[in-house]
């Protein structure tokens, strides 16, 4: 066998030409000399075929990925190693080199290509919404029949921030362009409805309460008749707090736990625990605050009763001791009581 191109007869053959003649016209890869990519100048997301992809990728990485997408490797190449390098940035053009090493019919081949990647910058629709202060929902943080405490506002701000940070991975409209401070509470304006709802739920997880949504028609598309709505989501946290006393179904209960799904409260007469769903919160009436608990000294004791002086008018109060607790209290001991019509021992 001799090469039909060069006539040599002592070389490895690829069909009817020698390996050297074959490699003269062989390329390990195909890659264009120049590549254009369009990215958003705010979030670095990339426009491809009318769709925006991947955001917050650093620019060098965007360039490497553009090169990778545009390289096609010849199927005869084995053990290939591709080395990408940005040699120089000239304005918005990255001058790159693509070095390829690989084996072709057992021969080591090495090639270097120069490729320029041009970065075209624009603003993606999401970022242009954000820049214009666009929002889809307003989360209203309120309390039922009371002022919200400073510590609750601080906690709420933390929850909003934490939730937005978490959401931001999947929702670029997870942002809060405005926060309005009103006398009755804060209004958080939220870019997307999805993240607005997440925030409302996170607030409820922390404080308990009731969530209500009310859509408001903002404008109407005349051609389709479709309305554009913004959703106001109110989170109304309860009037009562931990340790407070409430009336519920004729019973006097002390609030023990406030959770996202229910309130746990303890009957101060029987010690029986009640779990009350937020749907029934309207039936819970606040009657005394935890701060109203008084500490008194026992002045005398009979088998099932204790006596102490009323802190207000110093009259002697006679109080039943709960079953099983008779031996736990003695004369001179301090006990906690709450006055709700009558006194109750806690
Ligand atoms: Zn040849
Ligand atoms: Zn963007």
The owner of tokens 């009318």 is 50
Ligand 2 centroid vs 212 CA: distance in angstroms?
32
Between 100 and 225, where is the model more confident?
100
Mean pLDDT score across all residues of the chain: 92
The CB-side HSE value for 201 (13 A sphere, CA atoms) comes to 8
Among the bound ligands, the one closest to the CA of 131: 2
Ligand 1 centroid vs 97 CA: distance in angstroms?
30
Per-residue pLDDT of 229-271, as tens digits, reads 899 999 999 999 999 999 999 999 999 999 999 999 999 988 8
Distance of CA 287 to the CA centre of its chain: 37
Among the bound ligands, the one closest to the CA of 12: 1
Ligand 1 centroid vs 30 CA: distance in angstroms?
24
The owner of tokens 């229910």 is 262
Among the bound ligands, the one closest to the CA of 18: 1
* Cβ–Cβ < 8 Å for 58, 100: no
DSSP for residue 133: T
What is the C-alpha R_g of the chain? 37
* Backbone φ and ψ of 199, nearest 5°: -65, -45
Ligand 2 centroid vs 59 CA: distance in angstroms?
14
Ligand 2 centroid vs 64 CA: distance in angstroms?
20
Among the bound ligands, the one closest to the CA of 45: 2
Among the bound ligands, the one closest to the CA of 7: 1
Per-residue pLDDT of 119-142, as tens digits, reads 999 999 889 888 888 899 999 999
| pLDDT of the residue at 227 | 73
Cβ-based neighbour number of residue 342 at 10 Å: 10
Ligand 2 centroid vs 169 CA: distance in angstroms?
13
Ligand 1 centroid vs 17 CA: distance in angstroms?
5
Per-residue pLDDT of 98-120, as tens digits, reads 999 999 999 999 999 999 999 99
Q: Is the pLDDT of residue 95 over 90?
A: yes
What is the pLDDT confidence band of residue 213, given thresholds at 50, 70 and 90? very high
Among the bound ligands, the one closest to the CA of 57: 2
Among the bound ligands, the one closest to the CA of 55: 2
**Which residues, listed in sequence order, are joined to residue 236 by a DSSP beta bridge?**
142, 210
Ligand 1 centroid vs 10 CA: distance in angstroms?
10
Ligand 2 centroid vs 127 CA: distance in angstroms?
4
pTM equals: 0.70
Ligand 2 centroid vs 123 CA: distance in angstroms?
6
What is the pLDDT confidence band of residue 321, given thresholds at 50, 70 and 90? confident
Ligand 2 centroid vs 106 CA: distance in angstroms?
47
The share of the chain scoring above pLDDT 70, in percent, equals 100
Ligand 2 centroid vs 175 CA: distance in angstroms?
13
Per-residue pLDDT of 32-88, as tens digits, reads 999 999 999 988 899 988 899 877 889 999 999 999 999 999 999 999 999 999 999
| pLDDT of the residue at 327 | 76
Return the HEC string of 34-57: EEEEEEECCCCCEEECCEEECCCC
């Amino acid at each position: 066998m001799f090469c039909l191109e060069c006539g040599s007869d002592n070389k490895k053959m690829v069909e009817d030409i020698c390996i050297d003649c074959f490699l003269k016209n062989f390329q390990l890869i195909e890659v264009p000399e120049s590549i254009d990519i369009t990215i958003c100048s705010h979030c670095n997301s990339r426009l491809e075929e009318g769709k925006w992809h991947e955001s917050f990728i650093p620019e060098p990485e965007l360039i490497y990925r553009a090169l990778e997408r545009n390289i096609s490797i010849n199927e005869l190449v084995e053990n290939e190693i591709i080395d990408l390098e940005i040699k120089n940035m000239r304005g918005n053009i990255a001058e790159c080199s693509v070095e390829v090493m690989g084996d072709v019919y057992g021969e080591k081949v090495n090639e270097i290509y120069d490729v320029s990647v041009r970065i075209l910058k624009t603003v993606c629709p999401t970022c242009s919404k954000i820049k214009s202060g666009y929002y889809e929902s307003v989360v209203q943080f309120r309390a039922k029949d009371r002022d919200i405490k400073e510590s609750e506002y601080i906690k709420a701000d933390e929850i909003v921030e934490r939730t937005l940070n978490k959401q931001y991975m999947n929702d670029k409209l997870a942002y809060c362009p405005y926060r309005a401070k009103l006398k009755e509470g804060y209004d958080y304006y939220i870019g997307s409805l999805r993240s607005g709802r997440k925030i409302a739920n996170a607030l409820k997880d922390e404080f308990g309460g009731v969530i209500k949504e009310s859509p408001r028609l903002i404008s109407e598309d005349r051609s389709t008749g479709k309305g554009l709505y913004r959703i106001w989501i109110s989170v109304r946290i309860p009037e009562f707090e931990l340790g407070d006393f409430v009336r519920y179904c004729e019973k006097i209960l002390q609030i023990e736990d406030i959770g996202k799904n229910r309130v746990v409260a303890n009957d101060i007469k029987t010690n029986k625990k009640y779990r009350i769903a937020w749907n029934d919160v309207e039936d819970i009436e606040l009657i005394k605050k935890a701060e109203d608990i008084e500490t008194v000294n026992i002045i005398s004791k009979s088998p099932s009763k204790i006596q102490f002086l009323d802190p207000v008018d110093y009259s002697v109060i006679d109080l039943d001791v709960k079953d099983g607790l008779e031996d736990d209290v003695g004369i001179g001991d301090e006990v906690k009581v709450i006055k709700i019509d009558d006194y109750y021992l806690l």
